[in-house]
Structure 1
Amino acid sequence: MRILYGVQGTGNGHITRARVMSAALAKAGLEVDYMFSGRPADAYFNMEPFGEYRTRRGMTFVTEAGKVQRYRTLRDNSLPELIRDVRALDLSGYDLVLTDFEPVTAWAAKLQKVRSIGVAHQYAFCYRVPGVERAPLLKPCLSLFAPADVKVGVHWHPFNAPILPPLIEPQRLPLSREAGRILVYLPFEAMEDIKAVLRPFSDYRFVIYARVDTPLDEGNLSVRPLSRDGFQADLARCDGVICNAGFGLCSETLQAGKKLLVKPLGGQVEQLANARALQQLERGQVMNKLSTDAVARWLPGDNPDPLPWPDTAGALVEWLAQGAEAPVADLSTRLWRDFQSAGLLAEQLS
């Protein structure tokens, strides 16, 4: 089986899933090529698992000051270029297209009638998960953006739907807790706004990962360049995480058992829904804008128990290697049944 795997490059959550999947796909001996879209080609980093991957412009959103800028998003994306890229992509050598909410590969598969399977957090919104009741147009928009013959959603809870647990790499580093050390990743917020909110808490050390070239220390603030290994080390030993409400990092934080404070990206339906789910599951606190008061209320809180997610990638790749004929619901039931904390999560929603 030869597979083309399309990955949305906006944010890092999709790429994190693809890294986990790439290891499982390679272990199964499946031949996979990778295509990424949604950010400039020179803005990807730590891409070694994907070999000679390809990039396209694709579609993304424009943000400023923690909000999606709708007019600039419409202005700066190029529908004609997307159409050209879809038409130019030759899928004649592939048996299957996997898409993690990536539009070029998804639409090329649809037009060329190549079987496609969508694997992404966004596909969980095809079901009645927290937050979708406020976005009635979300489900049709998903199919318009990245259609797929079979849609496989991932989330933190099954929500009585055929949804899989998160696709997250198992915890590699020993977990510890350095009191007062807070990991911060808010890529859509202005750095000066972040500093202004965190600077008053002089008894805490905030490690802020951002697009900077060199480390910078300013009092209780430590700004660090983006680094997958460095970030994972800080996640393993921190006392809590402040981040936007993207699915990937929140999943890793829940797995590590760290307290979580999220600031959803304004105007981004997925992040607003994720924030709602975290509140319902009692696994995180939410601030709708950067707020010193919200941080002050959250900092003294305790860390929850870790949620060691099952090997979703291994089970999913096994399902793919067997032809992906069995119902996704069967795979979902098996994975959640084997997940030791599934009962606890169910209690929280009852």
Structure 2
Amino acid sequence: MKILYGVQATGNGHISRARAMEPYLTQAGAQVDYLFSGREPSQFFDMQQFGNYSVKRGLTFITEAGRVNYWQSIKQASLRQLWQDITQLDVSGYDLVITDFEPISAHAARRAGKRSVALGHQYAFLHQIPMQHANLMTQLVFKHFAPAQTQLGLHWHHFNQPILPPIIDGALDSAEVKDHKVLVYLPFEQQQQVISMLTPLTDYQFYLYGPGLTAASLGHIHTHPPALQPFKNDLASCRFVLSNAGFELISEALQLSKRIMVKPLNGQMEQHSNALALQQLNLASTTDSLNSQTIASWLSATQAYHQVHYPNVAKAISQWLLQGAEGEVAALCRQLWR
């Protein structure tokens, strides 16, 4: 089977899901071409796994100081280029198009009448799940931004809906956990402000990853530019994870039984809804604003959280797809949640 796999590259979580899916699609005998959009080509890193992938401009949201800047997002969008990329993408040679909230591959498949499957967290929002700041516009975006004939939504709980568990990187390593080690990933915040908040908390060792950072040790704060394996290593060995409320990192942290606090990206409905779900499921702490005292209180708290363990969703989906997607999505969901 020949597959075109479109990935929304605005956030690293979409790419992480593709990394988890790639070996199982390959093992199942699929030939997969990858298309990424929503990020400048120079900002990709550790992409050897995807072979000779292609990059398109696509659409992305612009963030400033922890908040979505909708005006700049609209100003920098090129709908003409998006339409050209959609109309010029030839999907005739593929048996299947997979889209992880990637609009070019999704709409090219729709125009060509090509069999398509949407895979990702955003498609869970087409169902009755915890939502905050939802409105007609957000629902239209989830429904029409990157549509497909079949949708496989992912979430931390099924909420009695046909939703699958998260896709977790099967290469996550176990490691000796260091009790005072904190992984910090707040890419939408101003990194110098994050460093200032962490500076007074000298009882902990912070490993901070973010755009624009260089590899350096500032006493108890260790800064790193984006990097795949070092980040995975620090995730495996940390006790705490402090991050925005993106889906994939939190999924991996839950699987590894980390203590988590999230600060959702202001103005981003998906992240606010993720924070709400984490609260309702008693899986993590949440905050709408960060300061040294808030972080210190979370680190010293003894609150017990529910523990989770998710199955190998990437393998199950790959097998299901390569077997012709036989059977209803609801049946696949029930199988995986068992």
What's the TM-score, normalizing by structure 1? 0.93
> Aligned letter for 1:60?
T
Quick one: which amino acid aligns to residue 199 of structure 2? R
Q: What is residue 182 of structure 1 aligned with on the other side?
A: 182
Q: How many angstroms apart in 2 are the aligned matches of 1:77 and 1:291?
A: 33
Conserved 8 A contact 1:258-1:304: no
Alignment check: 8 A CA contact 1:116 1:149 kept: yes
**Equivalence for 2:90:** 90
| 2:334 corresponds to | 333
- Please name the residue that 1:323 is paired with: 324
Residue 209 of structure 1 pairs with residue 213 of structure 2: no
- In structure 1, the partner of 2:3 is 3
Please state how far the C-alpha of 1:304 moved relative to its aligned partner.
4.8
Report matched runs for 1:253-268 at 5 Å.
253-268=253-268
The separation in 2 between residues aligned to 1:50 and 1:301, in whole angstroms, is 41
Cα separation, 2, equivalents of 1:253 and 1:123: 21
Question: What does 1:28-67 align with in structure 2 at a 5 Å threshold?
Answer: 28-67=28-67
Structure 2 length as normaliser, TM-score?
0.96
Shift of 1:181: 1.1
Mean CA deviation greater in 214-223 or 34-43: 214-223
Displacement after TM superposition at 1:143 (Å): 2.2
Q: Show the 5 A alignment for 1:290-301.
A: 290-301=290-301
Which residue of the partner structure matches residue 313 of structure 1? 314
Report the CA distance between 1:322 and its aligned residue: 1.2
Inter-CA distance 171–256: structure 2 relative to 1 (3 Å threshold): farther
Q: Distance in 1 between matches of 2:42 and 2:218?
A: 29
Q: Please tell me whether the aligned partners of residues 283 and 306 of structure 2 are also in contact (alpha carbons under 8 angstroms).
A: no
Q: Output the CA distance in 1 between the equivalents of 2:294 and 2:166.
A: 27
Aligned residues of 2:284 and 2:305 also touching (Cα < 8 A)? no
In structure 2, how many angstroms separate the alpha carbons of the residues matched to 1:143 and 1:136? 11
Partner SS state of residue 182, structure 1? strand
CA distance in 2, matches of 1:286, 1:136: 26
TM-aligned CA deviation for residue 166 of structure 1: 0.5
What one-letter code is carried by the residue in structure 1 that aligns with 2:155? H
Contact 1:256 1:306 in 2 (8 A): no
| Cα deviation digits, residues 183-223 of structure 1 (max 9, x gap) | 10111110111012111111111110123464111122110
Sequence identity percentage: 45
- Is the Cα contact below 8 Å between 1:106 and 1:116 reproduced in 2? yes
Do structure 1's residue 79 and structure 2's residue 45 form an aligned pair? no
Once residues 63 and 45 of structure 1 are traced to their aligned partners in structure 2, the CA distance between those partners, rounded to angstroms, is 20
Q: Secondary structure at the match of 2:296?
A: helix
Q: How many residues align?
A: 337
